[in-house]
Amino acid sequence: MNDNHCDFLVIGSGIAGLCYAIHAAEFGSVIMITKKQDSDSNTNYAQGGIACVLSENDSFEKHIEDTITAGSELCNPESVRIVVEEGPARLKELLQWGVSFSKSRSTDNPYDFHLGKEGGHSENRIVHAKDLTGKELEDTLLRRVRSLNNVAIYENHFAVELITDHHLKKESLPGTCYGAYVLDCVERSVFKVRAKTTCVSTGGAGRVYLHTTNPAIATGDGVAMAYRAGARVANMEFIQFHPTTLYHPDADSFLISEALRGYGAVLRDRSGNAFMDKYHKSGSLAPRDIVARAIDNEMKISGEPCVFLDIRDKPEQETKQQFPNIFKRCLKHGIDITKELIPVVPAAHYICGGIVVNHTGNTDIANLYACGETAYTGVHGANRLASNSLLEALVFSYRAVHDAAIKVTTNTVPKACQIPDWDDSGTHDFEEWILLSHNFNEIRSVMWDYVGIVRSDLRLHRALRRIDLLEKEIENFYKKTRITPQLLELRNIVTISRLIITSALRRKESRGLHYTTDHSKLNNRYWRKDTVLRKKSE
């Protein structure tokens, strides 16, 4: 059985994991686990950009206020201040690594960025690479990681479980993390990776829902693993639905960036009426939770399957230059955005909750860190402000890795004497994927129908009953079957679904992204607090 050792184990290859690995390489050996190709991540799909205070017209205080307002006053103020004030230094680091952002004009000044504006922002502060910011980040960071001799990237490998005291037959919970059991998806063998420190940065869980902007890999693996290992998770009820994804049968919920509305696009109904002004003073540039609910309401009133974005009054060449990816993708589906309305619908986009961490990325489990969308830092509160996610990933991955480096370089990390090999005795191969596929589709349909943009106690209880049955069925199947990537994803998705539903049932108010018809008002007296869950010790 293969056995690997490293100072830093990184699970996930988005912006958070890549930045963590680059910095970790300064202090020791790194193994990066990614279950698909190394460029598969939510980062790669990010169109908008990075929110950062760079203009003389802007200020840290404005960015902090915008973030807390969008987060419906549930943000951790200190976490917000950290990410806003430390953001510019991390952005300059990206420039040093070779990331190329759009400039405001032809100039030799590397900081003369073209700053966009998105919903909820009071100033232009979105640094971007046209409408392909995520791809530019992912490509550049991957090149840098691949140039580092002490970083090993294991593609097509799936982290099965975190190795904790539970596996060493110790009773303490949550205890200590010693690495992870990892599935080689090609060889279908499981081996252990011993690590002095482990960082979970597996991204989001959009695939829990039937319609999502997320890639197929976004199945909540890191949150599910950490929860099973005994770490706390928080605020899983706050699922951000991006208001505008392309409505087309072949578009696979292609995201139409919020930057398009910042540029001047207006939301209209089929009759051409601009409807957002009756929902919010900022109109089409209102925060995402408000826009998504407004679109959902307009669709229910009209019976129409979508609404429309209108950018026709902007200069044609300027639109093509600013949004080349969106223009080409829509044109591929027969829509010229410079001349026609763009049909759009909301889709699951981002999870504001996650594994609870402190200001240096530590979870409840010793030597286990989390960063990126997987982590709950307190920055986003009940609703993430547009383009704050990449900023958070930059800042908190830097903080986490430097805290982990202290443990590694001072040799204060406890060592596991004997970690048992993975035991799959008594399991058998199961070829009928159709049964698992049916469960996968049923979970996503239940979540979309009952735990979506607008919720109720009746819908949530109905969803919980069905998810509980599916979870028991899947766990029983997991114990008897030789594992596959599909089975692991199914197991993680059903765990994430139950966490979302349980959290939603506990919050007896409507705040930010959580709107329930049974408790439609904000209740600061009792519910201005996080929803925290932890698995009971078995």
Active-site positions? 288
How many helices (H) and strands (E) are present in the chain, helices listed first?
Answer: 14, 18
Task: Give the integer Cα–Cα distance in Å for 19 and 138.
Answer: 10
Amino acid at 38: D
Task: Give the integer Cα–Cα distance in Å for 352 and 448.
Answer: 17
Task: Give the integer Cα–Cα distance in Å for 77 and 84.
Answer: 11
CB 109 within 8 A of CB 414: no
Q: Which two tokens stand for residue 463?
A: 């969803």
Task: Give the integer Cα–Cα distance in Å for 75 and 398.
Answer: 20
DSSP 8-class letter at 516: B
Q: Where are the alpha helices (DSSP H) in 127-238?
A: 133-146, 221-229
Phi, psi dihedral angles at 533 (to 5 degrees): -125, 145
Other CB atoms within a 10 A radius of the CB of residue 22 amount to 21
Task: Give the integer Cα–Cα distance in Å for 481 and 495.
Answer: 18
The CB-based long-range contact list for 283-287 (8 Å cut-off, 24+ gap) reads 284/119, 285/117, 285/118, 285/119, 285/120, 285/261, 286/119, 286/120, 287/69, 287/70, 287/119, 287/120, 287/383, 287/385
CA angle 88, 199, 170 (to 5 degrees): 150
Q: Where are the alpha helices (DSSP H) in 6-113?
A: 15-24, 60-70, 77-97
Q: Is 521 exposed, middle or buried (0-12, 13-18, 19+ CB in 10 A)?
A: exposed
Task: Give the integer Cα–Cα distance in Å for 71 and 381.
Answer: 5
Q: Where are the alpha helices (DSSP H) in 98-204?
A: 133-146
Q: Where are the alpha helices (DSSP H) in 257-387?
A: 259-263, 288-302, 316-322, 324-332
Among 140, 145, 124, 141, CA closest to 50 = 124
CB 75 within 8 A of CB 47: no
Task: Give the integer Cα–Cα distance in Å for 163 and 141.
Answer: 28
Amino acid at 49: G
Task: Give the integer Cα–Cα distance in Å for 378 and 71.
Answer: 10
